[in-house]
Structure formats: C-alpha cells, structure tokens
Amino acid sequence: MTDLLAEAQGLDARDPLAAHLDEFVDAPGVTAYLDGNSLGRPLRSLPERLAEFVRDDWGTRLIRSWDEQWMDLPTELGDRIGRVAIGAAAGQTVVADSTTVLLYKLMRAAVAASPDRTEILIEEGNFPTDRFVAEGVAAERGMTVRWLTADPVHGVQLEDVAAAVSERTALVVLSHVDYRSGALADMKAITDAVHSASGGVGAGALMLWDLCHSVGVIPVELDACGVDLAVGCTYKYLNGGPGSPAFAYVNARHHGVLRQPIQGWMGAGDVFAMKSEYAPADGIRQFISGTPPVLGMLAMQGMLDLIETATIDGVREKSKTLTEFAVRAFDDVLAPLDVRLLSPRDAENRGGHVTIGHPDFAEVTKTLWPDGVIPDFRFPDGIRLGLSPLSTSHVEVLSGVLAVRDALGS
C-alpha cells in the first residue's frame, strides 16, 4: 500500500500534463472523480466565457451574431474536432443534435443508399441507443438486424465481423471503445474487412463507428482508416457539459450520395430563401436539420484548446499510465477480495476506462458517492473507473481504489 502511494506520487510528479489538473473547477468534498467518461468536469475559464457570451455575443450583438459567427459554428467546430481529435480533414464533421439523433440520421441515410441490401450488422452488447436506433431503422425499411456476439471483456474481434459481413449487409455499426469494458476495436482492420467482404469501398456495406468513448482520450484516424461514417458525444472527454451536442462525420466520398431523413431548413442549400422545396446544402452542412444549440457548443471549445496544447498523443500517453496504474492497484488491493477485472489487461487494447466487477458493487457505489468518491455503476455488478487524463491524477485513482476496498470490507 505504501508502495502504491509512492508509485502514484511518483507518476504524478513525472506527469508532463500535471499542470492542467488545476484548470478544472474544484468540486468541494470530492476526493476522487472517476466518472469523466460519463460527464467531464468544467474548466475554470468557463464561467467567464459564458458571462462574456451573454454580455457580448448574445446581449450586445443580438441577432447579428447569427451572421457574424453562429451559422458557421457547427461546421467550424466540427472541423476543429476533426483536426484535434479524430483525424478528419476539414468539411466532413458537423456538430448538431444528440448522438442518438445523429445515429438515426446516418443509419437511415446509409441503408437508403443501398436498397438491395437487407441487413444491418451490430454487436449485441453495443450501447442501448445504438441498438435501439438500428432496430427502429430496420423496422422502417423492412430490414433485418443481424446481431454480432462479442466477448464482454475483449470486445469485437476482426474475425467475427469478417465472418458476418456479406453482400446482404448494408451497414455495420460498432463502438470504437466498448462502453462496458473499455475494449478498443481495431478500426482500420475492421473497416477494411467490412468493405472488402461486402463489395469494396464505395460499393459494399458502409461502416459507422460510435466514438463516444474514444473522442478526446485516444487518437482516432477516421480518414486514414477509410471510415464511412462516425458519431460521438462531446460531454465525456470533450467536457462540453450535460446535453452538449454530438458530432457526425461523413466521409467526403458520400456527400451528395447519402440523403439524411430529417430534412430541415438549416441543412438546406439556401437557408433564408424560404423555398417551396428542400434542396440539401453542399457538403457536410446537409446533415444539419434545425437551429444549432449554440450555448451547448461553448464549453467544449475550451477543452479542445487544452487538448490541442497537450496533444491527443500526449493525452493518450497519460491515459495509459492512469489505466495501467489502476490495474496495478486492482491487482494488489481488490483482486484478493474477489473483485474481477472486466477490462483488457494490455493498455494497447483498452480505452480510457477500467471496469471491475463484484456482486456487492451496487451497494458499494451507494456508499462511495456520499463520501466524495465517484465512479459509476454499470448493471449488473460493474464499477467503471473512468479516468479523464487532463483532470485526473494517479493519487486520485488510488484513493478511489482504496475507497472501494474499504467499502467492500465494511
């Protein structure tokens, strides 16, 4: 235990990103915030940014701000996320709606583009919203959902996807980082396999990745991996705040081919022409439907600045030392209490969170929160330690693990 504390302190002392820990708002009474993969912390600079927005951009410029900056914000911010975090060249990413609504828009557009194909392939343990939307889209189009079984700890494997894709597949929907175990899927190999097993890039099935648990914590290379479509939320590692809008990526080769189903005035070619018929805007803008949630796009801008300074590779390095340390602390302190590791052991195969399991964890979580130790509980018996690299220290991880031990013993 003393060794673990010394190790945590040593890792913090050598952490090149440690200075950023102070850039987040203090949470009085919280000793270990281990849920940055559900809701990232606000930055200290945010209250002033919000006040300035109310005073100047909204309060003084009033409706003029739409022309001066807000109309282009969804695509400018999308380009920025593309450049800083997900390896997408400009013009392919847009911020709008929730992840769920964007999933619907992209899935519906993808299957409509190949009407002769009858199947949507999705992993049976994927996040509920992904599965529910896939089932809804399949029902609307008279298609079949084909379920892929994956190991709950190691996640989706290339061979399983390759074996299930065929000339019947219209769309494959997978999470890059598994929301339960943190398992990291091989984006490039799986995307290539989906394309080649179904008819080739541009001719076969489309690949849609859910990046909710990857964006801002692990470098993603959408263009280099040849990905067709992606979505992700911004309230986890991009610290956009509760309900901040999501982003959608549509590879440029599909612009003008895919038609999204929620045709609204803000995605039309000439927004203020008030035409009698809808004609989509060029490029990624056509994936917008209604008025963008401008207020919800403020907080993530400060976090993108920070990630740009730290670099996404630097963030990933820290993420690995945090999760590796969490696994070491688990081995020493929790494994002897019959707690199970529900994440891959090798950091290369893991995203930013570590999941552990024990039959008493529902009760344990209830005792931790009032004491200021905040992981999250995942049914049926998992605790996720979500370690947001820029706002979490190794000592904080240790406090969390020790608190779990104490709660199990009490």
Ligand X SMILES: Cc1ncc(COP(=O)(O)O)c(C=O)c1O
Q: 223 CB contacts (<8 Å, ≥6 apart)?
A: 87, 88, 89, 92, 251
Pick the stretch among 26-34, 114-122, 209-217, 249-257 that binds ligand X (CB under 6 A).
209-217
Residue pair 278/263 in contact (Cβ under 8 Å)? The answer is yes
Q: Does 127 bind ligand X (CB under 6 A)?
A: yes
Active-site hit among 33, 179, 235, 237: 235
Q: Name residue 75's amino acid.
A: T
- Closest approach of ligand X to the CB of residue 175, in Å: 5
- As measured in angstroms, the least distance from the Cβ of 249 to ligand X is 14
Residues 81, 85, 90, 96, CA torsion sign: negative
**179 belongs to the binding site for ligand X (CB under 6 A):** yes
- State which residue, 70 or 179, has the beta carbon closest to ligand X: 179
Q: What is 97-129 written as a DSSP string? A: S-HHHHHHHHHHHHHHT-TT--EEEEETTS-HH
- Where residue 77 falls (left for φ over 0; alpha for ψ -120 to 50; beta otherwise) is alpha
Residue 4 CB, shortest distance to ligand X, in Å, is 30
Query: Least Å distance between CB 126 and ligand X?
Result: 7
Kindly tell me which of 130 and 396 has the beta carbon lying closer to ligand X.
130
Is 384 labeled as catalytic in the residue annotation? yes
Q: Are 316 and 307 in contact (CB under 8 A)?
A: no
The torsion defined by the Cα of 306, 73, 284 and 36, in degrees rounded to 10, comes to 40
Instruction: Describe the crossing of helices 312-329 and 394-409 by its angle, rounded to 10 degrees.
Output: 30
When asked if residue 129 is in the footprint of ligand X (CB under 6 A), the reply is yes
Give the start-end residues of each E strand in 26-177.
Answer: 32-33, 93-95, 119-123, 144-148, 169-175
CB of 176 to ligand X, least distance (A): 9
Q: Rule CB under 6 A: say whether 175 interacts with ligand X.
A: yes
Backbone angles phi, psi at 90, to 5 degrees: -55, 150
Binding residues for ligand X, rule CB under 6 A, total 13
Our CB check for ligand X shows the closer of 197 and 246 to be 246
Q: Rule CB under 6 A: is residue 131 a binding residue for ligand X?
A: no
Q: Is 236 a catalytic residue?
A: yes
Q: Minimum Å distance from CB 184 to ligand X?
A: 13
SS3 assignment for 267-303? HECCHHHCCCCCCECCHHHHHCCCCCCCHHHCHHHHH
Q: x-or-dash pattern for ligand X, window 272-311, by CB under 6 A?
A: ----------------------------------------
Residue among 211 and 395 whose Cβ is closer to ligand X: 211
Can you tell me whether residue 34 is helix, strand or coil? coil
| DSSP code per residue over 379-410 | TTTEEEEE--GGG--HHHHHHHHHHHHHHHH-
| C-beta of residue 124 within 8 angstroms of C-beta of residue 134 | no
Task: Single out the catalytic residue among 33, 104, 127, 330.
Answer: 127
Cβ proximity to ligand X: between 31 and 100 the closer is 100
Q: Closest CB to ligand X among 155 and 280?
A: 155
What string marks each residue from 97 to 126 as x (binds ligand X by CB under 6 A) or -?
-xxx--------------------------
Q: Is 235 a catalytic residue?
A: yes
Residue 33 binds ligand X (CB under 6 A):
no
Nearest to 352 by CA among 379, 381, 392: 392
Q: Restricting to residues 378-397, which ones interact with ligand X according to CB under 6 A?
A: none
Q: Which is nearer to ligand X, 45 or 98 (CB)?
A: 98
The one catalytic residue among 15, 35, 79, 210: 210
Instruction: Read off the tokens for 314.
Output: 């630097």
Annotated catalytic residue within 236, 285, 318, 378: 236
Q: Is 349 in the site for ligand X (CB under 6 A)?
A: no
Active site residue 318: no
Contacts with ligand X, residue ranges (CB under 6 A): 98-100, 127, 129-130, 175, 179, 210, 212-213, 233, 246
**Active-site residues: which are they?**
127, 210, 235-236, 384
